Amino acid sequence: MAETHHFDVARLFGVKDFTAVVTGGGTGIGLMATQALAANGAKVYITGRRTDALETAAKTHRPSSSGGQIIPIGPCDVTSKDDLERLVKDLGEKEKYIDLLVCNAGVSGPKAEPDTGHAGDLKEKLWHNESVDQWQDTYKTDVTSVYFTTVAFLPLLQAGIRPKGNLEPFAPSVITISSMSGIMRDAQGHFSYNTAKGATVHLTKLMSSEFQKAGIRVNSIAPGYFPSEMTVKESDDRQKSHMPPEKIREKGHVPIQRAGREEEMGMTVLYLAKNQYVNGEIIAVDGGVLNELGGR
């Protein structure tokens, strides 16, 4: 039975002594996840294609207390099995196990608005503004790489199964970053991206079911509008992006009338990292958008 002190927030959501890996950890949602974990005691390895972004993020956002760390590793292109094998080998020489893998790296893909009811005009717009290669590249980064990144790290994740204090054996976990776009029925002009993120959602469920045999949990966060290089196309000198509230209000389908706060993403990451009773879930953090645009 739980005593009252067992509900202390540090006990519930602290990740002291955790070792985590975050792909695309130098900017956007990946950096938010990294900060949340490091601020609460975790050693976080961040990887991505741009070494400069990783090093800047690690240097600029080093936690001032808590004992957490942000450590660049790589570079790594998650669409390359060779890069992934090299990353796992390098990390395996530093750590005996990891507790958490956050598969965050992704791309937005081509955009073409289906904003006409005239079939000829609709074909013209979609046919000429999107290519097969763009679709394949989007799927390769947003879905295929999530699968192979997770598979590559399975041994290091399983090695992290061990008792945590007086609790039951700890189950390491994977958090995939999907999107509200993979759940809604509105294409948003991003047919390839929304389709890919829908596949990420289903992939998460498949991996959760199959990998629980290995003692590993898999869940997904489906973000709404959060500031990132993907959503606003740039970062500042601290690898941070800004999304003005008026840009969100212009969309007309965000009930909370603002972008998600970085801390709100961090809360969700910590919840999924620590709650052993959650497996195979897709948690939308979208400010109520799916109430307006509908999901499955």
Q: Report d(CA 142, CA 120) in Å as an integer.
A: 30
Tokens of 145: 């790489």
φ, ψ at 235 (rounded to 5°): -130, 160
Residue where the block lists tokens 């695309």: 24
Indicate the angle between helix axes 191-211 and 145-158, nearest 10 degrees: 20
- Which one of 108, 145, 173, 178 is the catalytic residue? 178
197 is a catalytic site residue: yes
Tokens 């199964």 belong to 161
Q: What is the Cα–Cα distance from 43 to 16, expressed in whole angstroms?
A: 8
Place of tokens 């004992």: 67
Beta bridge partners of 163: 169
Catalytic, out of 43, 45, 145, 193: 193
Q: Which of 43, 197, 240, 274 is catalytic?
A: 197
E-assigned strand segments in the chain? 19-23, 43-47, 69-72, 100-103, 162-163, 169-170, 173-177, 217-223, 282-285
Is the distance from CB of 105 to CB of 141 less than 8 angstroms?
Answer: yes
Reduced to 3 states (helix: H, G, I; strand: E, B; else coil), residue 161 is coil
DSSP-assigned states of every residue in 54-116? HHHHHHHT--SSTT-EEEE-----TT-HHHHHHHHHHHHTT-S--SEEEE-------------
Which positions are annotated as active-site residues? 178, 193, 197
